[in-house]
Structure 1
Amino acid sequence: MRNAVSVFILDVTDSSKFKNGLELSEYLSKWQNVIANTNGTRKIAVKHRMGDEIICLVEGYPSALMIANYMIYNWEYQDHMPYFGVSCGLIEEEIDQINIETWNNILVKNARLANDKMKENKNRKKLIEINPLNDNENSEIELMNILLQFQGAAILEQTAKQREILALFSLLRSQKTIAARIGKSTSTISGHYTAGKIDLIIESAESLYHILTLKEPLSIMGNNQINTVQKMFEEELRRNITLFQFGQEY
């Protein structure tokens, strides 16, 4: 049976200018562990390699994009943002039988091409480029990348406080809970939320997940079951990132 999967390749902006290369490497290794532990509903393979790169292979067309978004929302180093080349398609192998460090599938090549496209643009206003393999018309790919460009530009234009609220909202999904956690009024949080276009950032991401879910071939699961599994995966991912960021669940 062919398996629906997605892959991303992450690089870090201006990593050579990072003050402490070891600190960055350790940070990426921690993210590797967060991702690797998000394996309760989706098989996953991830490897931090070559200094500032992470490669991740995961079941489900939307899954790699979802992980990439959550990493962006919760990234600590705003002067050195991650950027991702993403692809998705069908493979014959089982993920748990793949050595992700040496795997040379065309999906990896597509993700690499997408990553390189952004790397070449030194003034990029985008953090993710998607280059799917199967069953996608050029117009659909263009639409997805337009949404990703909007999302990336909105995030990069945020103030530090707006970025903090984006990170917290991505995990907690409640302005009231955020206000209580950081000791601010709900109206203050709402102001940052609106000015930072956080609702549009989250909604555009969810639209992309929906598009990719519809493109995923129906095998054993129907669309409703795929959506259920994907929601469970997202909840597990949020829980693991919350533990990583705060050392506890909220």
Structure 2
Amino acid sequence: MKSPVSVFMMDVTDSSRNWKEVSSYLEAVEAYIKLWTKGLPNVHVKHRLGDEIVCIFDHYATAYTVAFYIGQIWKFTNQPPYFGMSFGNVDEDISDIDIDKWNHPLMKHARMANEKIKQSTNRSPILLFPDSDAMSIASVEMSNLLLEYQGKLVAEQTKLQRLISGLFSVLDEQKTIANLLGKSPSTISSHYKKGNCEIILKTLNTIQNTLNNLEETQSGTYPSNITKELQNTIKNHLKQNLDIITN
């Protein structure tokens, strides 16, 4: 029986500039990912080569959901992370995969997507290169365009807009965020709109739904509830540790 999985290879922009700080921070990010995905049956997460994190997860939408929230909490704003990502179905028992030796085409595709981002002058923070059986070329191009647009909106945010966007992705409450930041609700609302936070979060939902629908078509599984549970787990962890976002 084939198993639906998603993969990402994450690197950090210009990490050699302060590689010790970045490497130390990535150890914390690795721990967050393991905590967020603890409810999934099969997860492989590894921080390696100083500035790289490689992950293999159950389900198509998992890698993207985790990558999105890493982007929301990332503290080195001038050195953003970027993710080469792939998804599809595998024959292997995922629990038995050795992440350092697994040379499945999905890993190669994620690496190719990562390298394409690295070589691009107009970097998208996330690029999909899925298995050809999982997604049509037109769907890949459309999804990558959405991801590029989402990344552009995030990159254009001011520091405060980015903070508000991150808090909204977790708390969903304007008054709570206003009280937390010591600002008026109208100020929060203004920065929310100017920072295109609503569009960024709508794009998150659109891509998640697209990947869930693809998985249902390709695998016969019904992952939408699993994606919601994953997102709720991430939100609950960050609600209890808001300093991860605000510091």
For residue 149 of structure 1, what is the aligned residue in structure 2? 148
CA contact (8 A) 1:7 1:107 kept: yes
Specify every segment of 5 or more residues in structure 1 that has no aligned partner in the other structure, as ranges. none
AA aligned opposite 1:155: V
Counterpart mapping for 1:95-244 below 5 A: 95-124=94-123, 126-133=124-131, 134-217=133-216, 222-223=221-222, 226-244=223-241
Give the deviation of 1:90 after TM superposition.
Answer: 0.5
AA aligned opposite 1:236: T
Distance in 2 between residues matched to 1:39 and 1:92, nearest whole Å: 23
* SS of equivalent residue, structure 1 residue 26: helix
CA contact (8 A) 2:30 2:53 kept: yes
Counterpart mapping for 1:47-66 below 5 A: 47-66=46-65
Give the deviation of 1:221 after TM superposition.
Answer: 6.4
- Structure 1 position 33 matched with structure 2 position 31: yes
Distance in 1 between residues matched to 2:164 and 2:231, nearest whole Å: 19
Identity of aligned residues (%): 38
Distance in 1 between residues matched to 2:182 and 2:215, nearest whole Å: 43
Superposed CA deviations along residues 86-131 of structure 1, whole A, max 9, x for unmatched, are 100001223321121222111110011111001001342x210011
Give the deviation of 1:23 after TM superposition.
Answer: 1.7
**Change in CA separation of 1:222 and 1:158 when aligned onto 2, cut-off 3 Å:** same
For residue 12 of structure 2, what is the aligned residue in structure 1? 12
Distance in 2 between residues matched to 1:27 and 1:167, nearest whole Å: 18
**Change in CA separation of 1:120 and 1:3 when aligned onto 2, cut-off 3 Å:** same
Distance in 1 between residues matched to 2:41 and 2:80, nearest whole Å: 26
Distance in 2 between residues matched to 1:162 and 1:64, nearest whole Å: 25
Specify every segment of 5 or more residues in structure 2 that has no aligned partner in the other structure, as ranges. none
Distance in 2 between residues matched to 1:174 and 1:141, nearest whole Å: 33
CA contact (8 A) 1:34 1:241 kept: no
Q: TM-score, normalised by structure 2?
A: 0.92
CA contact (8 A) 2:215 2:221 kept: no
